[in-house]
Structure 1
Amino acid sequence: MHKLESIAENVRECQKCELCETRIKAVPGKGNFDADVIFVGEAPGRNEDIHGEPFVGAAGKRLDMILEDTGIDRKDVYITNIVKCRPPKNRVPSKKEEESCNDFIKQEIEIINPKIICVMGNTAYGTLLDGKEITKNHGKIVEKDGRKFFVTFHPAATIYNQKLVEELKEDFRKLAKFLETKDEPKQYEERRCDYCMAKTKHEVVVMPKVVTRKRRWLFKCTECNHERWLQPYRTVAESLY
């Protein structure tokens, strides 16, 4: 059994909060276990509660439409929620309910290890990034704890506010463009930083495009941020690192 299948079983049996008393079915994440992107929403709605799958109701149809519009195949992504059970009357989940599900979302992210995590809506934004005012910050890539997060609206918001449809589509186009970019080869050699000899394997970026009239190149340690201008001769560089 795959680790994510095991997590799904734990979600279905979970009784960590009072939502287990009102739900029909708990809703674990679903999708490609090797996805480059994880979409994270708030919580299941009525249709999700009935079927036990994420984003199969009106918000799910809106998400499908926007994914198709931007050329992202739903079969290639993984979709989940911060809270795995439906809050009564689709209210906003409480902090206790979010905290009860924290381990599930953390495990999903760790196991899949995606290229980027798409945070949809205020609840996911607040839980994963401590963020506020998504209207001002949507369409941006945020880095936290070594991971990349993409911030956007929840698809359900476009149902109640049609003006957000084009904004959400534009956000998803940015996300699709990011997913299309291939990982570029690292422009560094693993050497000891001449400023921090006690620490090994610092990444030293060589920036040959930054050349002065005296023909000097910039070498920069990405871990401690020290910089040094050097003549572009390997023997000189090796003598210093």
Structure 2
Amino acid sequence: MRPPEDCRRCALCAGRTNVVMPDGDPSSPIAFVGEAPGAKEDAAGRPFVGSSGKVLNQLLEEGGLPRERVFITNTVKCRPPNNRAPTQAEMDACLPCLESELEGRKVIVTLGRSAARDLLKRDIVMKDEVNRPTKVTIRGKEIVLIPAYHPAASFYNRTVKDSLRETIRVARTYLEG
């Protein structure tokens, strides 16, 4: 299920330039899920093309999972105003589309608290959940979910890049196992 270009399921449609669609390999067994598009993503219509995307691309390449070989999406497809986190109602509006995108994956890496909370269906404390694989059920099938920090966090916390490197290493063990 793809959201239509004229989607009006929530109020985010009012301020968007583009519906930001997934990127990468649609048949990849691994998906990286961010929380919401930023300004550059909204302009381009693609996820993770700004500074966070540069960090993600670098770490994926280092970890042997180049961007072209993974699936990248967001919990919501339209940019929230002022780069705020999406509300639960906004995430709920996009959830059928997100679940459709994630169906059949082997591993999901959530990037940031909102994405993890949306798919885990509970509130979380990131430091307690990061890099701790768990299973979620999406459309009747269990999938490994690995919560991770959002790449933007690396701009103000130097340890985040190392944590994301570990995330990619852990994800690869589940892909190869």
Q: Same fold (TM over 0.5)?
A: yes
Residue identity opposite 2:129 in structure 1: N
What does residue 75 of structure 1 align with?
68
What does residue 231 of structure 1 align with?
none
Q: Deviations over 1:143-184 (max 9, x none)?
A: 122221111111111122222111221221221232223xxx
SS at match of 2:105: coil
Quick one: distance in 2 between partners of 1:131 and 1:178?
24
Match of 2:19 among 5, 26, 44: 26
What does residue 143 of structure 1 align with?
135
Residue identity opposite 1:30 in structure 2: D
1:150-165 correspondence to structure 2 within 5 Å: 150-165=146-161
Could you list the structure 1 runs, at least 4 aligned residues long, displaced by more than 3 angstroms after superposition: none
What does residue 134 of structure 1 align with?
126
Q: CA deviation at 1:106?
A: 1.0
Equivalent pair of 2:119/2:136 in contact (CA under 8 Å) = no
Residue identity opposite 2:6 in structure 1: E
Quick one: distance in 1 between partners of 2:45 and 2:116?
23
Whose Rg is larger? Answer: 1
Residue identity opposite 1:152 in structure 2: A
Residue identity opposite 2:175 in structure 1: L
Quick one: distance in 2 between partners of 1:117 and 1:162?
24
- Taking only the aligned residue pairs, the percentage that are identical comes to 36
What does residue 239 of structure 1 align with?
none
Quick one: distance in 1 between partners of 2:158 and 2:56?
14
1:27-42 correspondence to structure 2 within 5 Å: 27-42=20-35
1:84-95 correspondence to structure 2 within 5 Å: 84-95=77-88
Q: CA deviation at 1:31?
A: 1.9
What does residue 120 of structure 1 align with?
111
Quick one: distance in 2 between partners of 1:161 and 1:143?
28
Unaligned runs of 5+ in 1: 182-241
Q: How many residues end up aligned between the 2 structures? A: 172
When normalised by structure 1's length, the TM-score is 0.68
SS at match of 1:12: coil
Q: CA deviation at 1:131?
A: 4.3
Quick one: distance in 2 between partners of 1:165 and 1:147?
25
Quick one: distance in 2 between partners of 1:177 and 1:103?
28
When normalised by structure 2's length, the TM-score is 0.92
